[in-house]
Amino acid sequence: MSESCERALGAGRGPGRAGGTPESGGGRTRPGGSASRGAGSAKEQQHQAGGLFPQQEPLRPPKTAPLGAGMAEHLQKTGIPSRSEDKVSVHDSGPEMAEPQLAVTAVVTSKLSAKAPEFYPSGYNQNFNQNFPDSSFEDRYDGYLTLAEYVQDFLNHLTEQPGCFETEIEQFAEALNGCVTTDEALQELVELIYQQATSVPNFSYMGARLCNYLSHHLTISPQSGNFRQLLLQRCRTEYENRDEATKGDETTKNQFHSFVLFLAELYLNLEIKGTRGQVTRAEILQEGLRELLNALFSNPVDSNLICAVKLLKLTGSVLEDAWKEKGKNDMEEVIQRIENVVLDANCSR
């Protein structure tokens, strides 16, 4: 009975204990008992030595390794701030699990603000523009073009690309209506166009078209006169010096000849609206061209005669029709004057 109890207790034990004795029952050895117990002991030793998983080589340390002593000391000296959200936990990969360490990443915070007041350099006076009532100076200081610069740029643009006249003239006139608000500005505009038309070759026709458009679309009309009136006054100043100009040096003659051809283009392109809405040419220009022909023939040198021929080629038919409507024979007188010059004058044939 006692032997049966011992067997029952022995059967309830675990697979075996380290250093245990072979199990026996009644002095008899169980077949295969020693072999199985030996195998069980080997497994127990392996289990106790390595745990649930077999031991392996340690993993490669992560790239976010803790900062060295030198780097940490450098961060303290430079005063680079750190934030809690910029800390990265790094676990030791040794055989034993250590507490996580914190690596601080270098973060540079900006002190700039979008709501900061406007910056002015030292010595800048915010009331600088108020000390100069001249709007042109203020515009130049702020980076804008003055009236003269804007007009001159447009004139040069028309000189290089005359085909853009139809597409850009309306916008140009609107801009002038916004900035030409004084008598001085209007006179400056007239002078700029006149100088361009009489000094730049082949711009007389485009200048006459430009003058015609502005004479109908500029809204300013000061007491000194509107655009067309100021333009004719400027032409009259040159016209009154015709006798001296035809006898001057070559530079003076060339300037006068350019004026003559520009006046001819004005006569052909400048439209005058009558009281009944009809469109006519400027009568004063017709009379002026007749007197200019007389001045050119009065000093029959080659350059003056060439200018007279160009004038007749440009406006001869229109002048002849206008004179015939008035019952005048001015064209016949001009032809007779040319014949006399060819026969009597010392000019190149």
Work out the number of other CB atoms within 10 angstroms of the CB of residue 144. Answer: 12
Sign of the dihedral through C-alpha 70, 72, 76, 81: positive
Distances (CA, A) of 314 to 204, 205, 262, 309, 320: 12, 11, 11, 9, 12
Domain residue ranges in the chain: 129-230, 241-349
Residue 80 and residue 107 in contact, taking contact as beta carbons nearer than 8 Å: yes
Residue 293 has pLDDT above 70, yes or no: yes
How far apart are the C-alpha atoms of 300 and 290, rounded to whole Å? 16
Say what the pLDDT of residue 105 is. Answer: 54
Out of 92-96, 105-109, 292-296, 329-333, least confident range: 92-96
Confidence (pLDDT) at 134: 46
- Measured CA to CA, the distance from residue 22 to residue 38 in angstroms comes to 10
What is the average per-residue pLDDT within 94-121? 60
* DSSP of 161-203: -GGGHHHHHHHHHHHHHHH--SHHHHHHHHHHHHHHHHHSTT-
CATH 1.25.40.180 holds for 241-349: yes
Number of CB atoms found within 10 A of residue 232's CB: 21
For residues 295 and 334, give the distance between their C-alpha atoms in angstroms, rounded to a whole number: 12
Kindly report, residue by residue over 235-252, the tens digit of the pLDDT. 999 999 999 999 999 999
Name the token pair of 244.
Answer: 């001296």
**DSSP single-letter state for residue 65:** P
Residue 242 near residue 256, CB atoms below 8 Å: yes
Tokens 């009281």 identify what position? 275
φ, ψ at 222 (rounded to 5°)? -75, 180
Where is pLDDT greater, at 4 or 239? 239
- Separation of alpha carbons 298 and 307, rounded Å: 13
Output the pLDDT for position 78.
55
**Same CATH fold assignment for domains 129-230 and 241-349:** yes
Q: Where are the alpha helices (DSSP H) in the chain?
A: 2-12, 33-50, 69-78, 135-141, 147-160, 165-179, 183-199, 204-217, 227-239, 242-246, 250-269, 283-298, 302-325, 330-344
In degrees, to the nearest 5, what angle opens at C-alpha 71 toward C-alphas 62 and 95?
A: 30
d(CA 107, CA 10): 68
Across the chain, mean pLDDT equals 75
Share of the chain above pLDDT 90, in %: 46
pLDDT at 339 (0 to 100): 86
Name the token pair of 167: 């597409």
CATH class of residue range 129-230:
mainly alpha
Whole-model pTM: value is 0.59
- For the stretch 160-182, pLDDT in tens is 999 999 999 999 999 999 999 99
Q: Which residue has the higher pLDDT, 209 or 134?
A: 209
Range picked from 66-70, 120-124, 138-142, 143-147 for highest mean pLDDT: 143-147
